[in-house]
Structure 1
Amino acid sequence: MSGHYVNGLVVRAEGGPATVEELRLPEIGPGQVRVRIRAAGVCHSDLSMVNGTLRPPHPLVLGHEAAGEVLEVGEHVTRAAVGDHVVLNWQPPCRTCWFCEQGQPWLCSTSSGVAALENGMTLDGAPVHVCLGLGAFAEQVVAPENAVIRVPGELPYEIAALLGCAVLTGTGAVRNTAGVRPGESVLVIGLGGVGLSVVSAARAAGAAQVIAVDVSEAKKGLAEAAGATDFVVSSDALSKDVRARTGGRGADHAIECVGRASTIRAAWRATRRGGQVTVVGMGAADDMVQIGALDIFSSARTLRASVYGQADPDTAIPDLARDVLDGRLSLDHLITDRIGLDGVPAAFERMSRGEGARSVALL
């Protein structure tokens, strides 16, 4: 295919199918880069764009968790050069808003909450929106230079892609938001790519007990490979099960990676008095969590959200890349399916059924 025409995965209307279609990239301008996508992970946020949890504009090019090679740079670009291997950042901080200046780039008021936008890419000659500003389920993308982060060339693309969302989110929830300390107990609810990253990070942080929970017994092997000490199939008796394994108290930390009111409430009940509940899963706006006022007071628990791992991706992603290359962080167990772009819809179906960990599209 000549020129800047590329294949990408497109949803034309809400509730419609995701199909591979021909797209035209815009010419790059000052401060922009063109990246050849080599690997892109299938994230639950992509599924949320399809199943109605989120309602982005359409037509929409899906995908945001990706890595690739820089093919072209515009004027004044200093963060990347042709040939660099990069991870894409779907929430690049502006560095000038109040939140960025307060050291909270994960809450950047410029990029936070942007489900999709137009970037000059077209479909059938008309503008098309790109998921989380990237639309990374495509052979190439054009992005602002602050949306690319250089990583070592020896890091496999499929591993690098996971650093951009699942791994950064999961490890950040443990290290930055929850602040898990050696010897503590950690409950992890939901064992997709993010949840399994939480399990690995909790063990790496020295947690004495990591209790992994999922609705599917089939996740037990993945949980154990990630470092879980216990595996529990979710049920109405989850709180009792967790307390039975934690001296009757409950877990020091519960990290919820599903994004549902029912699982947030389950995490709350299974945490000890004075413990911490960290919500990582992104749920629906109308799925309300109810906790009694007396319960809040008497339990003395803390309930917090962890947005993008509460991390600065510009420094955290290179650090994670070094951890992988130095053998301090193993991510091989996270990839359960390697697919092409046309295999992403089936990966969404597996995700909806709770099967596997991460599917990665290799382009």
Structure 2
Amino acid sequence: MSSQLSPAVVLDPETGLDLREVAVRPAGPGEVEIEVRAAGVCHSDLHVVSGDWPADRPLVLGHEAAGVVTRVGPGVTSVRPGDHAVLSWFAPCRRCRRCVAGQAWLCTGTKAVANTLPDGTTPFTGTDGAPVWPYLGLGAFTGRLTVPESAVVRVPEELPFGIGALLGCSVTTGVGAVVNTAGVRPGESAVVIGTGGVGLSVVMGLRLVGADPIVAVDLSAERLAVARRFGATHTLDGAHDDVAAWCQEQLGGVDYAFEAIGSPRVIETLPRMLTSGGAAVLVGMAATGATGSFDLFDLADQGKRILGCNYGSSVGEIDIPKLARLYLSGRLPLDELVGRRRPLSEAAEAFDDLRSNTGVRTILEP
């Protein structure tokens, strides 16, 4: 039996982006039903809309969200109805070698990246009864979801839903890139290329661990101003400043260079920003099949490293509650990360916000 139809933002490879009615089935064993209260609009969603990551079937978009648990299926023990929750898009299987080793972000058993639930099915159907699939296993741009228990993280009730949504992807990715992937230590220097939601979260993470100096680079004066409020000590205009030359001339190279755009052209410049022994951290997701080239002698001779970063090397059920507590204690100024709030019916405009660099992070509220 399916629940009542509700609006959802769907990308269909044949008809494009639209708002249509979908039904979601009740939670089965090991599953949780969520009433969505807020969902963040992320570049990973934009990659699908723009065709950088091709979709071969209709998808309910959205993968960072927060809401209230309304029902749990048999066997669910970590949450109960009424709990407030953040949804973690990379739902781990908890059984593969990587999960057992504590590296859930490298789970080889998850079906999230295949846009299905763990059993390979979808909880969504259209008005014609045809399946509609959950993007990254969630499909958060709608009012109600059925998701695996491993995707649901209980958080304090005082955490605002809009802030919780951002913990589901961008903040966890950005702060995690600093704390988990790179392991930045107090006093080490860093440059952050791209100050959207993820890049600003990297800046926040760097301030949190005591990095100095923190150099933020963007094309948007608005976002650079926000980056200074979030902890950047220096800002550069990516359209006019030679960032690599500045880093070498002013700082002798930085210890860490974070790229939060996913641009192969920009990624290729990162090693030239580094001091010896420094690390380039690839946080932004490039288009499928994108490649880049580097000075291999320089990498070897100077002991420079290139680190891939998926989901901030984070374990959702551990890292998301930590970040929630840091926000509630005033140590993460996440309120400034929210730029606009829009209803689901304005999803197309929310994607335009990303494309035009308007605002910081748009929140959709079903």
TM-score of the pair, normalised by structure 2: 0.94
What's the offset of the Cα at 1:101? 1.5
TM-superposition CA deviations, 1:79-101 (whole Å, max 9, x none): 11110000011111111101112
**2:263 matched to 1:264?**
no
Q: Which residue of 2 aligns with 1:33?
A: 32
Could you tell me how far apart the structure 2 residues matched to 1:279 and 1:216 are?
Answer: 21
Gaps of 5+ in 1: none
Q: Which residue of 1 aligns with 2:322?
A: 319
Match among 123, 133, 136 for residue 132 of structure 1 = 136
TM-superposition CA deviations, 1:58-87 (whole Å, max 9, x none): 211000100000111112211111100000
Could you tell me how far apart the structure 2 residues matched to 1:29 and 1:215 are?
Answer: 47
Contact 1:106 1:112 in 2 (8 A): no
- What amino acid sits opposite 1:11 in the alignment? L
Give secondary structure in 2 for the equivalent of 1:47.
helix
Q: Which residue of 2 aligns with 1:290?
A: 293
Q: Which residue of 2 aligns with 1:64?
A: 63
Could you tell me how far apart the structure 2 residues matched to 1:135 and 1:331 are?
Answer: 24
Contact 1:170 1:309 in 2 (8 A): yes
Match among 125, 131, 135 for residue 122 of structure 1 = 125
- What amino acid sits opposite 2:221 in the alignment? E
Q: Which residue of 1 aligns with 2:188?
A: 184
What's the offset of the Cα at 1:182? 0.9
Contact 1:189 1:267 in 2 (8 A): no
TM-superposition CA deviations, 1:109-136 (whole Å, max 9, x none): 0127714224131012100111000100
What's the offset of the Cα at 1:3? 4.2
What's the offset of the Cα at 1:261? 1.1
Structure 1, 222-231 or 109-118: larger mean CA deviation: 109-118
Pair 223,165 (structure 1): closer, same or farther in 2 beyond 3 Å = same
Q: Which residue of 2 aligns with 1:156?
A: 160
Give secondary structure in 1 for the equivalent of 2:138.
coil
Q: Which residue of 1 aligns with 2:84?
A: 85
Which runs of structure 1 show a deviation greater than 3 angstroms over 4 or more consecutive aligned residues? none
- What amino acid sits opposite 1:6 in the alignment? S
TM-score of the pair, normalised by structure 1: 0.95
**2:166 matched to 1:167?**
no
Give secondary structure in 2 for the equivalent of 1:281.
coil
Q: Which residue of 2 aligns with 1:204?
A: 208
Pair 112,208 (structure 1): closer, same or farther in 2 beyond 3 Å = farther
**2:18 matched to 1:13?**
no
Could you tell me how far apart the structure 2 residues matched to 1:87 and 1:31 are?
Answer: 17
Q: Which residue of 2 aligns with 1:239?
A: 244
- What amino acid sits opposite 1:34 in the alignment? E
What's the offset of the Cα at 1:27? 2.4
Describe how 1:207-226 pairs up with structure 2 within 5 A: 207-226=211-230
Could you tell me how far apart the structure 2 residues matched to 1:26 and 1:4 are?
Answer: 9
Contact 2:258 2:281 in 1 (8 A): yes
Could you tell me how far apart the structure 2 residues matched to 1:133 and 1:255 are?
Answer: 27
What's the offset of the Cα at 1:184? 1.2
Give secondary structure in 2 for the equivalent of 1:132.
helix
Query: How many residue pairs end up in the alignment?
Result: 359
- What amino acid sits opposite 1:244 in the alignment? E
Gaps of 5+ in 2: none
Contact 1:36 1:70 in 2 (8 A): yes
Contact 1:95 1:101 in 2 (8 A): yes
- What amino acid sits opposite 1:32 in the alignment? E
Could you tell me how far apart the structure 2 residues matched to 1:245 and 1:350 are?
Answer: 34
Q: Which residue of 1 aligns with 2:332?
A: 329
What is the RMSD computed on CA atoms of the aligned residues?
Answer: 1.6
Could you tell me how far apart the structure 1 residues matched to 2:359 and 2:250 are?
Answer: 26
Could you tell me how far apart the structure 2 residues matched to 1:218 and 1:114 are?
Answer: 33
Give secondary structure in 1 for the equivalent of 2:44.
helix
Could you tell me how far apart the structure 2 residues matched to 1:112 and 1:230 are?
Answer: 41
Match among 280, 297, 302 for residue 305 of structure 2 = 302
Q: Which residue of 2 aligns with 1:111?
A: 110
TM-superposition CA deviations, 1:204-256 (whole Å, max 9, x none): 1101211000122232211112111111011472211222331xx11111011
Describe how 1:242-257 pairs up with structure 2 within 5 A: 242-246=247-251, 249-257=252-260
Contact 2:111 2:137 in 1 (8 A): no
Give secondary structure in 1 for the equivalent of 2:265.
helix
Pair 306,112 (structure 1): closer, same or farther in 2 beyond 3 Å = farther
**2:341 matched to 1:342?**
no
Structure 1, 134-143 or 319-328: larger mean CA deviation: 319-328
Give secondary structure in 2 for the equivalent of 1:114.
helix
